[in-house]
């Protein structure tokens, strides 16, 4: 985590609510204030069809953001914005030795998005998280109109944006140390009603998908994720599953060996990481 200067803002945008926290301090940041605003919309998932890149729920979320910012912010605060997986599309960008430089990589990432989502991707802003030398990268796409609306809403109050991150990448960054010792596995990033499942191995990112999930209860979660993971990757279960949830004021993480799922009676979490 980078060093926080006094009075910075962490914002999480979800279809059903906007959550914001004021963070104060240097090496030991602390939450000094928090606000939650529910959206006026239904907070439902965007359509499954990729024919349209629009996500109607984000307009209700942006209205809630404007309501949240009123009387809560101070000009000059820097904001970090986390975007729900419901507003994000992902694509794996395979390593290519002949792709040189940021411009070529960006064009190749857009090509990967067009192959998956068609012309709907034309209206998305695409950003790449590098996997390292000769490793597959992960690219995320968000409706460019949504990003401009977020930027304009904060700029109108004199608040610069330090970064905008998909919730999945924010969790990977938050728990980078716990993940770094493992050459392969699956990380499941939870948010209400949704899970993003990313599988990685020695070649970098292998697959990533986001889907609905009906429970966040620990005693039920492992079995549900086992079923979801089997449907995502036909190669079989990776050795470890890492489950993370990140919010503006709290975060949690646990690790489990997937062979523990082979027993139907297994309902507890075998290993945990604080």
Q: What is the pLDDT of residues 172-201, one digit of tens each?
A: 988 988 888 888 888 989 988 888 989 888
- Domain limits at 56? 8-272
**pLDDT at residue number 235:** 65
**pLDDT at residue number 129:** 87
Residue 44 has pLDDT above 50, yes or no: no
Q: How far apart are CA 165 and CA 128, in angstroms?
A: 11
Q: How far apart are CA 136 and CA 220, in angstroms?
A: 32
pLDDT, mean of residues 146-164: 94
Confidence band, pLDDT 50/70/90 cuts, at residue 219: low
DSSP character at residue 136: B
pLDDT, mean of residues 137-157: 94
Asked whether residue 21 is domain-assigned, the answer is yes
**pLDDT at residue number 168:** 94
pTM metric for this prediction: 0.82
CA angle 267, 45, 246 (to 5 degrees): 55
CB 99 within 8 A of CB 93: no
Asked whether residue 3 is domain-assigned, the answer is no
**pLDDT at residue number 54:** 44
Could you tell me which residue, 150 or 57, shows the higher pLDDT? Answer: 150
- Alpha-carbon distances, residue 26 vs 4, 6, 39, 104 (angstroms): 5, 7, 32, 38
For the sheet with 79-83, list strands across it: 30-38, 17-24, 8-13, 79-83, 161-166
Confidence band, pLDDT 50/70/90 cuts, at residue 97: confident
Asked whether residue 22 is domain-assigned, the answer is yes
Q: How many domains does the chain have?
A: 1
Confidence band, pLDDT 50/70/90 cuts, at residue 238: confident
pLDDT, mean of residues 234-247: 79
CA R_g for the chain? 19
Residue 124 backbone phi and psi in degrees, to 5 = -105, 145
Asked whether residue 70 is domain-assigned, the answer is yes
Helix (H) or strand (E) holding 181: none
Indicate the burial class of 159 (C-beta count within 10 angstroms; 0-12, 13-18, 19 or more). buried
Q: Residue 175: which residues within 8 A CB-CB, separation 6 or more?
A: 187, 242, 244, 251, 253
**pLDDT at residue number 213:** 80
Domain at 170, CATH number: 3.30.420.380
Asked whether residue 2 is domain-assigned, the answer is no
Name the E strands within the chain: 8-13, 17-24, 30-38, 79-83, 88-93, 124-129, 137-143, 161-166, 185-191, 194-201, 204-212, 240-246, 251-257, 271-272
Instruction: State how beta strands 137-143 and 124-129 pair.
Output: antiparallel
Instruction: State how beta strands 137-143 and 185-191 pair.
Output: unpaired
Residue 28 has pLDDT above 60, yes or no: yes
């Amino acid at each position: 985590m980078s060093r926080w200067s006094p009075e910075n803002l962490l914002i999480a945008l979800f279809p059903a609510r906007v959550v914001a926290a004021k963070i104060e301090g240097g090496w030991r940041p602390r939450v000094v204030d928090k606000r939650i605003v529910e959206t006026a919309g239904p907070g439902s998932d965007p359509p499954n069809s990729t024919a349209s890149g629009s996500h109607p729920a984000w307009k209700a979320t942006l209205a809630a953001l404007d309501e949240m910012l009123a009387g809560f912010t101070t000009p000059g605060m820097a904001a970090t914005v986390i975007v729900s997986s419901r507003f994000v599309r992902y694509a794996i960008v395979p390593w290519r030795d002949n792709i040189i430089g940021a411009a070529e990589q960006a064009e190749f990432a857009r090509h990967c998005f067009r192959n998956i989502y068609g012309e709907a991707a034309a209206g998305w802003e695409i950003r790449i998280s590098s996997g390292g030398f000769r490793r597959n990268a992960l690219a995320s796409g968000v409706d460019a109109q949504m990003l401009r609306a977020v930027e304009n809403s904060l700029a109108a109050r004199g608040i610069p944006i330090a970064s905008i991150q998909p919730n999945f990448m924010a969790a990977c960054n938050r728990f980078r140390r716990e993940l770094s010792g493992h050459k392969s596995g699956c990380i499941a990033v939870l948010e209400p009603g949704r899970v993003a499942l990313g599988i990685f191995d020695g070649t970098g990112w292998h697959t990533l998908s986001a889907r609905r999930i009906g429970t966040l209860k620990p005693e039920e979660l492992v079995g549900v994720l086992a079923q979801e993971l089997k449907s995502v990757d036909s190669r079989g279960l990776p050795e470890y599953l890492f489950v993370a949830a990140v919010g503006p004021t709290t975060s949690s993480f646990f690790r489990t060996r997937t062979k523990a799922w082979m027993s139907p009676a297994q309902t507890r979490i075998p290993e945990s990481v604080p």
